[in-house]
């Protein structure tokens, strides 16, 4: 037998014999394999040619088979089959809070055209020849991203869960530096959260977990205290002197402090940041003749009660940005506190086109308060009325009386007059303007505008409506209100020898009704005696509490109620034994 014959051959010879047999077998099979492969390739080519211009067979996107379809049909099928997935809310969990984000609100959508293009459908490629035999492929969906909307969606999550770090700084109470100590926080990685939300889009169960990370402040508490005790004190130790040519204007420590703060410098300490806009407005008339100053667009009221537009014009004004930088440098380096002022071409705050587009067309509120004739305080009331007559508050803007008018000073016509300070009447330049503020507060009240900051007098003053009045001083307390309407608000003022009137023009949104409680928690006043040249008699008045409701109506229906609670302290009856001549 052959096996027996082979067994008698030496082992090395047996190996050579087996190798020969294998070579002979391969030579016989090679033509067969080649022919088979050729048949496979031919079949692949035939099949590929028959679907040229279509998506290769077996192609799937998020489980949807689009193989063999034309690009247009594939796009339509994806849009139809994945519509529910594209609208499924994405659940975001962060710091124990659970949020749902609608893909459309986050700016996420399926890009069917780009997805089908990635799947193929044009001229066949070499890999397409074998695809019918080796199986299909899964294409990752292409996603359109509106970066702004996605960022906004994540910012909404961050607003709810973040504990923002605070780097610390220095603010002022009057001219006293107050350290604002740093505080660590926890904040989500917004960029990582945006990527995770994008990746979760179109997932059968779109869920994302975001873990806030510790956020350490960049300035130490020790450094904040050091700056408050040194640099911040020195910054308000002396006035600044602004100069242009031979003109010089002093900026008081109070005005410096009002517009100065110290913020993180990114290097572990604090730097001064001076907001010169209010200062620039207050000194502008000293450096720029009125005829050369920019003029805001405004409206005048005709005798018939109609509005007439007064157009704006460009002009010359103080470069507030450069002034702020210069003051910050001076306060950083110390030494000479003289700062040159640059005057540049300045555009008006309100242009003609802006005024025309603000919807200022009708009277929405007005209020009048009365006063005795001819006292020094009347001069101040009329002076501030002239300054603010025609001023337009833009939609969304917060009006600050101190920010717009600035410190009441003699240079603009304000005079000393009595005001309440620490429970006594004292003379101060600008005293009495609280009557104007009270009148404007009531215009805000009945105009349906947002009260931001008003401070009732400590004592009740009988010429004002109880619970609907406000005081003001400089720099605090301020009087602020926000134009929370989509329209501009025009301030018009008028006065007589015994009255002041503030009227608002805009587009009316509400009818306002005022209701008041009776006076309660009534407390008697005491009688005291004082003397001296600065003693100003006080008539005495009971203290009490009162509540006032502002009722918003639209088309006769109440849409909102707002309560104002006011507590008046008893005003002592002060008799001056040596009343000064006035």
Could you read off the pLDDT of 371-382 as tens digits, one per residue?
Answer: 999 899 999 999
Task: Quote the pLDDT of residue 62.
Answer: 85
Are residue 392 and residue 539 in the same domain, yes or no? yes
**Which helix (H) or strand (E) covers residue 467, if one does?**
none
Count other Cβ atoms within 10 Å, centred on residue 480.
Answer: 18
Domain count for the chain: 5
Please give the average per-residue pLDDT across 165-171, as a whole number.
Answer: 90
| Least confident segment among 26-40, 174-188, 560-574 | 26-40
Cβ neighbours for 143, distance < 8 A, ≥ 6 positions apart = 108, 109, 110, 111, 198, 201, 202
Are residue 370 and residue 486 in the same domain, yes or no? yes
Place of tokens 């917004």: 190
Say which DSSP state 519 is in: P
Are residue 556 and residue 412 in the same domain, yes or no? yes
Cα-based torsion angle of the residue sequence 198, 201, 205, 209 in order, rounded to the nearest 10 degrees: 20
Please give the average per-residue pLDDT across 247-252, as a whole number.
Answer: 90
221 assigned to some structural domain: no
225 assigned to some structural domain: no
Counting Cβ atoms within 10 Å, is residue 49 exposed (0-12), middle (13-18) or buried (19+)?
Answer: exposed
Q: Which of 67, 65, 61 is nearest to 121 (CA)?
A: 67
Reply yes or no on whether the pLDDT at 30 is more than 70.
no
Are residue 236 and residue 304 in the same domain, yes or no? yes
Question: Domain span at residue 190?
Answer: 169-215
For 30, the token pair is 């090679």
Reply yes or no on whether the pLDDT at 168 is more than 60.
yes
Of 11, 27, 50, which one is at a domain's C-terminal end? 50
- Taking the C-alpha atoms of residue 410 and residue 516, their distance in angstroms, rounded to an integer, is 39
The SS3 call for residue 359 is coil
Task: Quote the pLDDT of residue 281.
Answer: 81
Task: Quote the pLDDT of residue 132.
Answer: 52
Task: Quote the pLDDT of residue 35.
Answer: 45
The 10s digit of each residue's pLDDT in 116-165 is 988 875 445 555 555 554 446 888 889 999 999 999 999 989 988 888 88
Of 139, 160, 181, which one is at a domain's C-terminal end? 160
- Taking the C-alpha atoms of residue 215 and residue 186, their distance in angstroms, rounded to an integer, is 5
Reply yes or no on whether the pLDDT at 581 is more than 90.
no
91 assigned to some structural domain: yes
Please give the average per-residue pLDDT across 202-216, as a whole number.
Answer: 88
Are residue 147 and residue 201 in the same domain, yes or no? no
Are residue 379 and residue 260 in the same domain, yes or no? no
Are residue 390 and residue 429 in the same domain, yes or no? yes
Please give the average per-residue pLDDT across 16-36, as a whole number.
Answer: 54
Reply yes or no on whether the pLDDT at 52 is more than 70.
no
Mean pLDDT (the chain) is: 86
Of 352, 378, 408, which one is at a domain's C-terminal end? 352
Q: Which of 218, 230, 214, 314 is nearest to 266 (CA)?
A: 218
Are residue 183 and residue 332 in the same domain, yes or no? no
| Least confident segment among 130-139, 322-331, 502-511, 565-574 | 130-139
Task: Quote the pLDDT of residue 26.
Answer: 56
Count other Cβ atoms within 10 Å, centred on residue 34.
Answer: 10
Are residue 408 and residue 519 in the same domain, yes or no? yes
Cβ neighbours for 260, distance < 8 A, ≥ 6 positions apart = 172, 235, 236, 272, 273, 274, 275, 331
Confidence at 582, pLDDT banded by 50, 70, 90: very low
Please give the average per-residue pLDDT across 398-423, as a whole number.
Answer: 84
192 assigned to some structural domain: yes
Cβ neighbours for 360, distance < 8 A, ≥ 6 positions apart = 299, 307, 392, 487, 488, 489, 490, 505, 506, 507
Task: Quote the pLDDT of residue 202.
Answer: 86
CB 224 within 8 A of CB 270: yes
Are residue 303 and residue 367 in the same domain, yes or no? no
Reply yes or no on whether the pLDDT at 241 is more than 90.
yes
The SS3 call for residue 26 is helix
Reply yes or no on whether the pLDDT at 74 is more than 70.
yes
Count other Cβ atoms within 10 Å, centred on residue 425.
Answer: 19
Task: Quote the pLDDT of residue 42.
Answer: 41
222 assigned to some structural domain: no
Are residue 405 and residue 469 in the same domain, yes or no? yes
11 assigned to some structural domain: yes
For 20, the token pair is 């020969």
Task: Quote the pLDDT of residue 19.
Answer: 55
Q: What are phi and psi of 299, to 5 degrees?
A: -130, 145
For the chain, give the percent of residues with pLDDT over 70: 87
Say which DSSP state 489 is in: E
Q: What are phi and psi of 484, to 5 degrees?
A: -90, 20
Are residue 194 and residue 306 in the same domain, yes or no? no
Please give the average per-residue pLDDT across 523-535, as a whole number.
Answer: 84
Selection from 31-40, 137-146, 486-495, 518-527 with the highest mean pLDDT = 486-495
- Distance from chain centroid for Cα 119: 44
223 assigned to some structural domain: no
Instruction: Look up the CATH number of the domain holding residue 334.
Output: 3.10.20
103 assigned to some structural domain: yes
């Amino acid at each position: 037998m052959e096996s027996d014959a082979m067994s008698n051959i030496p082992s090395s010879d047996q190996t050579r014999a087996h190798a020969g047999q294998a070579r002979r077998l391969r030579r016989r099979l090679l033509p067969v394999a080649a022919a088979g492969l050729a048949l496979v390739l031919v079949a692949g080519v035939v099949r590929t040619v028959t679907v040229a211009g279509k998506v290769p067979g077996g192609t799937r996107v998020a489980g949807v088979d689009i193989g063999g379809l034309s690009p247009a049909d594939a796009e339509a099928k994806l849009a139809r089959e994945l519509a529910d997935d594209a609208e499924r809310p994405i659940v975001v969990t962060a710091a124990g809070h659970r949020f749902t984000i609608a893909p459309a609100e986050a700016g996420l959508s399926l890009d069917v055209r780009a997805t089908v293009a990635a799947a193929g459908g044009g001229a066949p490629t070499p890999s397409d020849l074998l695809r019918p035999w080796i199986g299909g492929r899964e294409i990752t969906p292409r996603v359109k991203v509106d970066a702004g909307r996605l960022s906004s969606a994540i910012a909404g999550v961050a607003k709810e869960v973040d504990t923002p770090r605070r780097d610390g700084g220095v603010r002022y109470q009057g001219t006293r530096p107050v350290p604002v100590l740093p505080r660590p926080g926890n904040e989500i990685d917004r960029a990582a959260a945006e990527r995770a939300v994008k990746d979760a889009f179109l997932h059968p169960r779109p869920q994302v977990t975001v873990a806030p990370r510790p956020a350490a402040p960049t300035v130490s508490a020790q450094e904040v205290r050091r700056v408050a005790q040194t640099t911040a004190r020195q910054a308000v130790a002396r006035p600044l002197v602004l100069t242009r040519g031979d003109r010089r204007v002093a900026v008081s420590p109070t005005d410096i402090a009002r517009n100065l703060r110290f913020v993180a410098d990114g290097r572990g300490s604090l730097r001064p940041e001076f907001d010169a806009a209010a200062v620039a407005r207050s000194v502008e008339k000293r450096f720029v003749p009125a005829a050369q100053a920019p003029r805001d667009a405004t409206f005048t009221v005709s005798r018939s009660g109609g509005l007439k537009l007064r157009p704006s014009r460009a002009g010359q004004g103080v470069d507030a940005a450069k002034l702020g930088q210069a003051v910050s440098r001076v306060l950083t380096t110390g030494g000479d506190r003289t700062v040159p002022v640059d005057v540049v071409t300045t555009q008006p705050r309100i242009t003609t086109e802006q005024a025309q587009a603000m919807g200022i067309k009708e009277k929405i509120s007005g209020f009048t308060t009365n006063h005795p004739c001819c006292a020094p305080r009347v001069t101040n009331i009329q002076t501030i009325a002239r300054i603010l007559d025609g001023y337009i508050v833009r939609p969304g803007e917060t009006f600050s009386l101190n920010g717009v008018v600035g410190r009441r000073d003699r240079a603009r016509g304000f005079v000393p007059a009595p005001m309440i300070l620490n429970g006594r009447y004292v003379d101060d330049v600008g005293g009495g303007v609280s009557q104007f503020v009270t009148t404007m507060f009531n215009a805000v009240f009945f105009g349906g505008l947002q009260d931001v900051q008003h401070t009732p007098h400590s004592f009740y003053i009988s010429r004002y409506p109880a619970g609907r009045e406000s005081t003001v001083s400089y720099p605090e307390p301020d009087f602020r209100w926000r134009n929370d309407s989509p329209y501009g608000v025009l301030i018009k003022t008028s006065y007589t020898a015994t009255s002041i009137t503030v009227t608002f023009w805009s587009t009316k949104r509400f009818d306002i009704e005022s209701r008041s409680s009776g006076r309660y928690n009534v407390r008697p006043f005491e009688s005291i005696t004082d003397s001296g040249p600065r003693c100003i008699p006080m008539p005495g008045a009971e203290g009490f509490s009162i509540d006032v409701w502002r009722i918003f109506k639209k088309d006769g229906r109440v849409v909102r109620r707002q309560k104002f609670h006011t507590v008046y302290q008893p005003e002592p009856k002060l008799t001056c034994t040596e009343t000064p001549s006035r």
